[in-house]
Homo-oligomer: A and B are copies of this chain.
């Protein structure tokens, strides 16, 4: 299954020499896996011998040794020690480019500058990738494929050093994106840190829910609160390190929230109904601005098929879609609690929707609906 992917073949990596990775958690070990698969020499270091052994055992690289001469050092440690480790690595490996993958970029830079650290060979970066599960054991080589990888160069950065970090991102299948550290931090405050807090605050209200009310929860609230399952330790650090941009968005959001609550409290005040409608309408416009999946899906038609909850049924379904020469672009499988079957919502090219629907119906499948808009 691997003959036709965007991951470069072994030996074709842009990254050469030894790459030293400090911190063998989810991100560090995932980078190690991907580089090792490309034949790059990966030297792993971690303050936890157990975590290091795990990452090595799982194939993320070898343990770092005295005498390693890395061309590139990747710092993948928790946010609160990122600046310290960057400073130490720059001192220990003066010939190497040092990058980090922390999700906040301005604060570590400010600390390093304040300490007078020579930052000529430091380039901050941030791959927008992660999982709800952490640790070396959750690492996967494909974690970065197709994801943005922010690279924060500055006036001091040499083109050669920049090429090393961007080469790393490209080797991992990510899309390098140059941004200013402060601009990066304002952006992630809006699209990552505040959504996390909002999901957490909303889910936090469920504890006070009247008895039985959560039985009425549907897919909407589940999606809205999904990321509330994230780990507290990491998020306290991330939010603390990006407090100012996060607080700016929170304050604006609190104002919006108070306005809509006031409009609902005084429905007959002039403009109240309109204020509520505008809130929903601005939300419509907002989601439309998000790139990627939302927009992409709109290009596809959806065929919803009922499938029995027994082994082999999805196999038959997809086998027959293959026979019909229908390519499945996306798929959502929904189980009805207690039911013996599920609904498979299949996204296909609009030109193939009718072929899929008619062909499947002719083969005895029950089509719940087809939407082609």
Contact = CB atoms under 8 A, between A and B. Distances in A.
Given A140-B304, A331-B331, A336-B173, A315 B319 contact: yes
A329 B191 CA distance: 31
B220 A195 contact: yes
Given A197-B260, A204-B285, A225-B287, 16 more contacts: A6-B340, A140-B304, A147-B218, A183-B213, A187-B213, A207-B286, A214-B289, A217-B291, A224-B227, A235-B277, A239-B264, A243-B265, A243-B267, A246-B264, A247-B264, A312-B323
30 contacts: A1-B306, A128-B216, A142-B336, A147-B336, A148-B216, A187-B212, A187-B216, A192-B218, A197-B260, A198-B198, A200-B284, A202-B253, A204-B256, A204-B279, A205-B253, A206-B289, A207-B286, A219-B293, A220-B226, A225-B290, A226-B294, A231-B280, A232-B277, A236-B273, A254-B261, A309-B327, A311-B322, A312-B319, A313-B318, A332-B333
Contact of A190 (B5, B206, B246, B273): B206
Interface in A164-222: 173, 175, 177, 179, 183-184, 186-188, 190-192, 194-210, 212-222
Counting contact residues on chain A (CB < 8 A from B), the size range is 35 or more
Contacts of A323: 312
A335 B327 contact: no
A209 B289 contact: yes
A200 B283 contact: yes
B210 A186 contact: yes
Contacts of A247: 261, 264-265
A194 to B, nearest CB: 7
